[in-house]
Structures are given as C-alpha cells and as structure tokens.
Chains A and B, each alone.
Chain A
Amino acid sequence: MKSLKIPLFNSGRSPSRSYIKARTLLDHVNKGEVVVLMKGITKKFPGVIANYRIDFDLKCGEVHALLGENGAGKTTLVSILYGVHQPDEGEIYVYGKKVRFKSPKDAIAMGIGMVHQYPKLIDSLTVAENIALGLRQASVINPLPKVEELIKEYSEKYGLKVNPKAKVWQLSAGEKQRVEILRVLMYGAKILILDEPTTSLSPLEREDLFEAIKNLAQEGASIIFITHKLNEVMKVSDRITVLRRGRKIGTIPTSEADPHLLIKMMLGEEKVPQMISEWSLSRMRKHCEDPGNNIALEVEDLYVLGDRGELAVQGVSFIVRRGEIFGIAGIAGNGQRELVEAIVGLRRALKGRIRLMGVDVTNRGSRTIAEMGVAYIPEDRVRYGLVLDLSVADNLILRNYRRNPFSGRIMLNRSYISHWCEELVKKYEIKTPSINVRVRCLSGGNMQRVVLARELSQSPRLIVAFHPTMGLDVAATEQVRKLLLAEKERGAAILLVSEDLDEVMELSDRIGVMYDGRLMGVMKNEEVDVKRISLLMMGVRESEVDKDKARKGV
C-alpha cells in the first residue's frame, strides 16, 4: 500500500514575509544573472519517468524556450518549479536561495507565475472573481469593482480583450487563455512560466503576446516559454532547452539554432529522415476530382444563439461533400464554436436546417447525430472530449461501448476492449504507461491523441474537427494531417475549423472565412489568395476586397 500522506494545512510558512524577501532580493538581481537553477531533477510517476536528472537554469531578463515531443516532460518540469509536484531527487534554487515548494502558494510568494497548458479557471465564477482569487491587491471586502477596473487597464495595456463580468464557462478556449495570461501579468510575477500559451490565440493576439513577453523580459522579468511551434521559438526566445523522453538533450542559444537542428534534437537522429518524407507526403496530397453529388452535410440558412443570448451564427449556408475537406478559417470567437456545436447537436439551432446524408437532423440531439456516423473533435478537449477520471481505455470506447462486440447484453467485453485499445494506442502513438491509467495523468498532447484516436477510429462519414492539431508536437501534427487526408480518401466528409490559416490552406479543398457569425468568400483551394483571406478574416467585406483589388489593378 502507498504510504498515507496527510495534507494538513500544508501551506508555506508566512508567505507574506518570503514575498517581501523575494521583492528585496529582486532589487539586487542584474540582467543575465541566474534567477532559477534546477539541479538533477528527477520525477517518477507510476510507470513513467517524467524527468530524469534534468539541469535547467533561467537567467534574469531572458526568454528560455522549452521544447520537446508530447510527453517529453516539459509540463512536469515547470510544475515542479511551480510547486505542484515535489521532485523525487534534485535541488531548486531561486534567486540563489535553496527552496522546497510544498504548494503553488509558496512559489507564488517567491514571485513565480504560471500560465497552465489547460487554463486553470473556475467555470462557475466570473472572470473578475477568478482573477481576484489570488490577486494580492484585491481587498477583502467587495474586491470586484477594483479588480474589474484593473482588468480593463491591463487588457488594454497588453491587447488581451476580456469581459471581466462574463462567467468562465461561457468563454471560448481562446478567451480562457487570454484570461489566464492576463492573470499572471496582473499578479506581477517576475518569473513567468508560459506552458503553451498560444494554442488558442488568434494571430494578432499572438503578436501582442510576443510583444508583451519581450517587453517584460526587457523590464527584468524572466520567462520560461513552452511551445510546439518552432517559428515562435525562433522569434521570441534567447535560449532553447530541448527535452526528449524525460531527459535533457541540450541547451543552445537561439542564434545558433535552426528548425532543422531543433527537430533533430527533439526526435533523435534516426527519426528525422522519416519526418521529412512525411512532410513531402502531405505536400503531394492528391486533389480529389469533383466527387459528384454526394453531399454529406448540408447547412442551410442557420441561425444559432451564443451563450450570452447574442446571435452568434447568422444565416450560414454551405455543403460538404463526401471525400472533401471543407475548411473554415477565421479568428476565434466569430461563431465557429456555436456553428460546430449546432451541427453536432450540442446547441439548439434557432432557425435554418442541418441535413446529414440528406436526412434532416436539425435539433435532433447529439446522440442521434453521433450514431449517424459523425465524429467530433471539440475545441476544448479536456472539458468536452474526455472524462479525466476514467482510464484511457474507457475514454477510447466512450462512443461504442454500447455496441457488439464491445459489450454483450449486460457486461462489457473487457478482453476485446483491451485488445482494441492496445491497437489504437499503438496506431496513434499515445504515450501512456498502460491503457488502464487515468487520462488525467497523461501529458497534454497525449490527451489530444486519445480524443483523436477515438473519433477517427470508427470510420465516420462526417468528421467535424475543431483545431485538430492544437497542442500536438511537430510529428503528431503531421500525423493528424495525414490521417485526415487518409479519411478523406476513404470517402469521409470533413469539416475543418481552424485558426491556423496555413493548416486550413494545406488541407482543404474549399475554404470559407467566418467573421461575425457569417460565412464569406467560399473559394476553391486553387483560387485561394492569402491576402484576400486575411482581409476577410478581419471583417473587410467581400465587395470591398474586390474593390481594393480593382484599385490596385490586380
């Protein structure tokens, strides 16, 4: 049996005093001096070694990028610094002082702040309440008006728009991420940990965030930045540390790095050539010839309400044929979520029709729609795609446990299920100690893979994919794209909604742009013009785009 740990009031000793100490310490820290030193960090979880003897240092005023495949141990390493986990071995020094954080509270007191890979926000509270939760300046009595004011001030300063009075459950993934980032900025942390902070941000917000990161570093903050996007790394970081399977591969200055070298460090020598060929494979994607009149999904003049009762989708019509990928580009929060939820039956349509394979399924409920062969990869996978406290296997069979051979009349057929799940785990390269581990214990990217594996494994007729590659590492991203293309070749219809314009353009046969609840400028892939799409994404009307072109004589 495990030894019984009794977590009785285990907060740090008088955090206010150590906070003051951190503050005064900070005045003596010069640029380039080491503020965080982690030595020989080892962390084991049942069945995996998440970190093995990792040395890591962070200098004052630098942006230090942390790279690695899904499950490499990045989140674990920074969680140890943030006091969420205790290391099995190793030492941590902050501002030269040896520390042992028992909880995030202790880390916060030393001026460390973290943006979590999956926003740690409380759904039923408002944005302001969530921020007031740990804000030192928040007064005890009636803190909200002041906090709301502060939020406005900061969101203007950093270009991260949020509505302080909105309840968190109403927010899109992007909005949640903005709140989470805003929060650490407001807490005035001097050591910032950003764990994949840009996955749900729009390109503009991303630029603003990079700007903010650079400014903060300039002002003397030190930043750990985790991402899977190599161009982001090259753009903002000063140094890069690469992890692979829990071990550190090396630390190099960004000036000496290039994407090819980084991929080699992340994946290991052997794997690289294969990767490249995968890339070229996806480039060589075959264009399907007009597959005739096989309409899989038809949306007609659809109106849908958003959470706040506003018209989120206004008169959208389009069709998706079998063997076709229809891409919807657009900045988050322009009605994509509501549109998708209406199609899969999670949200009522106010007006309009949705037909699947010619059958009217408007407002018919998600189970009916799912049983017609619709796979759904939701935007917020952790909340809507997974049951965190169930095992990997149980999550994988969520869609078909009712059917033969997964279950008999009464009992689940466990041996068939585990066989089937093992196959999926292998095929989708889900890194997990076993299929009986709770999904909560997987790394962020591997959680995504569980959803993908479940949804794509049942030969769906329609795939509704919302940001399908969000949070996946380089190799996995390519793999998912390849999978989608394979599904398409098999004859599935695919509705791809993504903010990543490159992704939409690379995969889709036809592309539409969503802005303010309307779908505009549907065009064939061959006719795509990046400039035109970008303008449409920012709300310039079709007619104006054309005028703009005419003026310039294009």
Chain B
Amino acid sequence: MTSSLIIELGHLLNISIKAGTPLLLASLGEVYAERSGVLNLGLEGIMLIGAATGFIVAYSTGCPELGVLAAIVAGAIIGLLHAFVCISLQANQVVAGLALVMVGTGLSSLMARDYVGIALKRALRPVKIPGLSRIPIIGEGFFHHDILVYASYFITLILWFIMYKTKYGIWIRAVGEDPSAADAMGVNVYLVRYICTTFGGAMAGLAGAHISLAYTPMWVEGITVGRGWIALALVIFAMWDPLRAMIGAYLFGTTEVLQYWLQMPLQAMGIDPSLLGTFPYVATIIVLLVGSFERIRKRIGAPASLGKPYVRGF
C-alpha cells in the first residue's frame, strides 16, 4: 500500500515537473527581458515558432538535439525582432507583443502544415541519473527526465546567480529600473536591453522545443495551448526572481497534471472534470489581475521602467 503510494507520488511529481518545464524555460527568459525593462507579451507566439521549427528540424534530420538548437535560434531571431521594434523604433511594447502572438500562431501552422498529426520517431527520451534516481519520490520526481529538464535546473541556478551575484545582474536590474541613471553611469542601456530581450526570445523558443520534442512529441496546431500566457503570469507570480519562477512553474505544472488525475474521482462526485482544465487559466487571470494594481506592482518589485522606451536626454 505505502510502496504503491510512494510510486504514485513520485510519478505525480515527475509529470508535474515535466509539465512545468516549458513554463519555467519561457518565464526565465521573460524574467530577464522584463528586468531589463522590455515587456514581451509575445511568448505564446515565439513558443509556437520554436515548437514548429524544432519539430521540423528534428523530424527531417532525425536528430532532436538539432531541433532544440534550431528552436533556440528561431526564438532568438524573433526576440531580436521584438527588441528592434521596441528599443530602437520605440514602439508600444504591448502592441508589438500581441502582434508577435498572431505572427507566431500563423507562421507556425503555415510552416508545419504538412506535419499535422505526425509523431516524432526519435523524441527526447527521459534518462535516469544513476544513483540519484533511486531516492524514493524525489528520485523519480527530479532525476528521471529528458535532457532539457536537467538543463533547466542548471539554467535556473545560473540565471539566479547572474541576476543577484554579478555586475551584469546589477546592470540588468538598473536598466529596467531607471535607464537614465544607468546610462549616466556608463551602462549601455540599449545593448543590455537588446541582449536580454533576444535571450528571452531564445528561451521561449527552447520552451517550445520542449513541448514538441519531449512533452508531447508530435505536431498539432497551437500545440502550446496557452502556456505562453501562463508563463507571463508566472513572471509576476515569481516577482521577477528566477528561483521563485522555478517553484511557480512546478506548481502550475502540478495543477495541469492534477486535472487528469482527479478526473475519475470528480466524475464520481458529479463534477464536470473539464472545469479543472480551466484551472491554470483561471490562476493566470488572478495573478495578472492582482499584478496589475499599481500599488501591488510596486510592493512585489515590478521593474519601474517596464514597458517604457528609453530616449537619452529627455
């Protein structure tokens, strides 16, 4: 009895983390972009393009790792485009981001229209870490995953370290908070923002790749099913902190999984299980709602210049 419970729990943790990983990857990138002052609402679109690019390359070369690389590059290119539009052309960041969602949705389904319904022959397979994976619950939960999940552990730690323990982290926070003060101290505001926004795009592309190459290794249109939006909410939930983004991503991942797990018991209780399916989205709306009050934004540390283009001398 207990041993089967342990196995069940380990399994639940495992799938939650797997489901949380694309959310984590995308929100980590967005944490950096927003910390530097650039809002990218287009995560959903970039993830879709990453997923499609990754899938096509992996399918045609038979090598999913190449697909991952291609997805990163594709995401970075779109991130760079967003950077150019928002930083150099000083366009409205909300509008530019929403446009990216539409571009991404359309472009991804156009690119991969011949692949609809096709499953990937060689996907990214879970690998057990010898030794560690034998720890009860934790072992199955954390150490029986595909390579991207392992990578996400390290990326989270590294990004946290850069943000809080290096000079570059101070630059990024300064630029998002008060670009004119940072500029006066000789920090290249435009360069920092370009790098962070491009990086944010690359991470969203990577997140897309995890969905189409590991989580559900096949192609369907709109494969990300709104995860880009959840990742955006997650950034606020995490108060722009990489470590908290990890915790949040796994929590959201759990809710995503729970809807399948609770299906039977709920049906038995006469509750429509599809209600549960709305949970991540409802949670997203609540986080966005709470996060949009100016006073709360200040308290939770929203970058003060988020969404504002910078022009020197004004």
Residues of A whose CB lies within 8 Å of any CB of B are 4, 6-11, 15, 79, 82, 84-85, 103-105, 108-109, 114, 116, 120-125, 129-130, 132-134, 138-143, 183, 440-441
Contacts and interface: CB of A to CB of B under 8 A. Distances in A.
B174 interface: yes
B312 A133 contact: no
Contact of A134 (B186, B190, B311): B186
Interface stretch (B51-59, B161-169, B254-262, B280-288): B161-169
A124 B184 contact: no
Given A84-B312, A134-B185, A143-B167, A124 B173 contact: yes
Nearest to B298: A124
> In the complex, which of the residues B89, B185, B188, B314 has the most CB atoms of chain A within 10 Å of its own CB atom?
B185
Given A15-B186, A105-B187, A141-B166, 18 more contacts: A7-B88, A8-B190, A9-B191, A82-B184, A84-B184, A84-B313, A103-B186, A108-B185, A120-B184, A121-B181, A123-B178, A125-B177, A130-B174, A133-B174, A139-B167, A140-B168, A142-B166, A440-B314
Interface of B: 87-89, 165-168, 170-171, 173-174, 177-178, 180-188, 190-191, 194, 301, 304, 311-314
A133 B171 contact: yes
Shortest 3 CB-CB contacts between residues of A and residues of B: A134-B185, A120-B181, A105-B186
Contacts of B184: 82, 84, 104, 114, 116, 120
A545 B167 CA distance: 50
A124 B194 contact: no
7 contacts: A7-B88, A85-B313, A103-B186, A129-B174, A133-B174, A140-B167, A141-B167
Contacts, number: 97
Contacts of A8: 88, 190
B178 A122 contact: yes
B126 to A, nearest CB: 34
A140 B161 CA distance: 11
A43 to B, nearest CB: 10
Contacts of A105: 183, 186-188
B312 A125 contact: no
Contact of B174 (A4, A11, A122, A138): A122
Contacts of B304: 123-124
> In the complex, which of the residues A6, A133, A440 has the most CB atoms of chain B within 10 Å of its own CB atom?
A133
A433 to B, nearest CB: 14
Contacts of B166: 140-143
A260 B59 CA distance: 85
A11 B187 CA distance: 9
B179 to A, nearest CB: 10
Given A138-B167, A441-B314, A9 B177 contact: no
A208 to B, nearest CB: 24
B188 to A, nearest CB: 5
Given A123-B178, A129-B170, A11 B188 contact: yes
A132 B171 CA distance: 9
Nearest to B87: A7
B9 to A, nearest CB: 38
B193 to A, nearest CB: 10
B45 to A, nearest CB: 24
A104 B183 contact: yes
B2 to A, nearest CB: 45
A210 B139 CA distance: 65
B88 A122 contact: no
A442 to B, nearest CB: 12
Contact of A124 (B188, B301, B313): B301
